[in-house]
Amino acid sequence: MGNSHDRSPVRSERNGDIAIIYASDYLNKLSGERVERECRVQLDAGCRALVVDFKNTGLVNSIGVSIMLGVIDAAERASAPLVFSNVNAQAAQLFEILGLTRHALLARDEADALAMLSEVNAPPHGRQVPVGRHT
């Protein structure tokens, strides 16, 4: 089973235990796989929550959706909460219809995403993977 030949890195940042990964302008196979790979790298490196930021993303195609489902799967396997931030209205509707928002939160922006994750991680109620669309 093949792998993408493209190995160029995607932009990401760490905020404590949280990794923020920035998707590119068009989330297709090439760019999607880079995001997915980076998410896995961050999870393997011990990060405990993920934010995928779509600030620069205009269009998400079917392959992009599939790859985001892969990110969800990876995050769930690592019990890491996942937030999609800065998702435009069209992509947000798609994520909602296709069920991605049942596994990941949507946040207005990166700061909002970090705030949501800090709530999730806050004691004493313990960790809980948030479900549902943030408005």
Residue ranges that bind other proteins, judged by CB under 8 A: 1-2, 4, 29, 61-67, 69-70, 72-73, 90, 93-94, 96-100, 102-103
Looking at beta carbons only, is 39 or 100 nearer to other proteins? 100
Closer residue to other proteins (CB): 2 or 123: 2
Q: Least Å distance between CB 55 and other proteins?
A: 21
Q: How near is the Cβ of 67 to other proteins at its closest, in Å?
A: 7
Instruction: In angstroms, give the least distance from the CB of 89 to other proteins.
Output: 9
Sign, CA dihedral 38-109-93-74, equals positive
- Contact status, residue 66 vs residue 77, Cβ threshold 8 Å: no
From the CB of 29, what's the least distance to other proteins, in Å?
Answer: 6
Q: Which residues, at least 6 apart from 114, have a Cβ–Cβ distance to it below 8 Å?
A: 15, 18, 20, 51
DSSP code for 78: T
Q: Identity (one letter) of the amino acid at 102?
A: R
